[in-house]
Amino acid sequence: MPDQDGDAGGYTGEVVVGGPEDVREVPGLTITKVATPPFENNCYLLRCTATGETLLIDAAGDAPRLLSLVGNGTLMAVAETHSHWDHVQALADVQAASGAAVLVHPADAAELPVRPDRLVEDGDAVEVGACTLSVIHLDGHTPGSIALLYEGDPQRPHLFSGDSLFPGGAGNTDKDPERFGRLMDDLERKVFGRLPDQTWVYPGHGKDTTLGAERASLPEWRARGW
């Protein structure tokens, strides 16, 4: 469990492929986390509580499961945090079944299995019903990796980090020091340098964390180079 989690209620963020989803209610949004194949990928459905409109973050796998979790709402968009194949395997099926718009950073757009409907860059707004998330470009894991930030909860921001930030470190940069340096620069400036410790982090694989749980380790990450 992350630290500083007093408002999490029964939500743990611990999900496994084939197991139940985990659901969290925050002001304005219902957040549903589910694990999908092939590599225990986390997918997140963000449903506006006022309108029922839903944003899916990463159509990684198991399209029928993802579509079923939309329920009686409307899947209005799929935001891909990056273009790696394990995060987009269900994208074509989800788009075909729902008509949802596909959002991605332009640097990763050519690698998607479908043509994106909207290219999003650093600072852009992504609306889901009455709620707004902001795009944070984090170059390194891929050239066009993004995180999505929701600041509509007065208790804490909520950051959907894709494969750029995990408990215990930054995302994989294939031992490339230049890519690692760019990712760490972006994380330190755009995430840790801007957001408070109580920010909840929802990664692309595995358990959740908070910025407070990770902040003291930043020098260690820099020193080890991964």
Note the pLDDT of residue 9.
77
Evaluate whether residue 10 is within a structural domain: no
What single string gives the DSSP state of each residue in 5-66? -TT-TT------TTS--EEEEETTEEEEEEEETTTTEEEEEEEETTT-EEEEE---S-HHHH
Evaluate whether residue 37 is within a structural domain: yes
pTM: 0.96
Find the angle CA(110)-CA(114)-CA(118) to the nearest 5 degrees. Answer: 75
Residue 212, pLDDT above cutoff 70: yes
Distances (CA, A) of 95 to 56, 61, 108: 11, 13, 18
Evaluate whether residue 129 is within a structural domain: yes
List all residues 6 or more positions away from 97 whose beta carbon is below 8 Å from its beta carbon. Answer: 63, 67
Query: For a pLDDT cut of 90, what percent of the chain falls above it?
Result: 94
User: What is the per-residue pLDDT across 160-200, written as a single tens digit (0 to 9) for each?
Assistant: 999 999 999 999 999 999 999 999 999 999 999 999 999 99
The domain containing residue 43 runs over which residues?
22-224
Average pLDDT of every residue of the chain: 96
Mean predicted confidence (pLDDT) in 106-112: 98
Note the pLDDT of residue 155.
96
Q: What pairs with residue 45 in β-bridges?
A: 32, 56
Evaluate whether residue 63 is within a structural domain: yes
Of 90, 65, 64, 62, the closest CA to residue 78 belongs to 90
Residue 38, pLDDT above cutoff 90: no
User: What is the per-residue pLDDT across 110-135, written as a single tens digit (0 to 9) for each?
Assistant: 999 999 999 999 999 999 999 999 99
Residue 73, pLDDT above cutoff 90: no
Note the pLDDT of residue 2.
56
User: What is the per-residue pLDDT across 91-102, written as a single tens digit (0 to 9) for each?
Assistant: 999 999 999 999
Note the pLDDT of residue 91.
98
Note the pLDDT of residue 215.
98
Evaluate whether residue 62 is within a structural domain: yes
Note the pLDDT of residue 34.
98
Evaluate whether residue 191 is within a structural domain: yes
Note the pLDDT of residue 8.
76
Q: What is the CATH number of the domain that holds 117?
A: 3.60.15.10
Residue 224, pLDDT above cutoff 60: yes
Into how many domains does the chain fold? 1
Mean predicted confidence (pLDDT) in 3-17: 78
Evaluate whether residue 8 is within a structural domain: no
Note the pLDDT of residue 3.
47
Evaluate whether residue 190 is within a structural domain: yes
H/E segment holding residue 136: strand 131-137
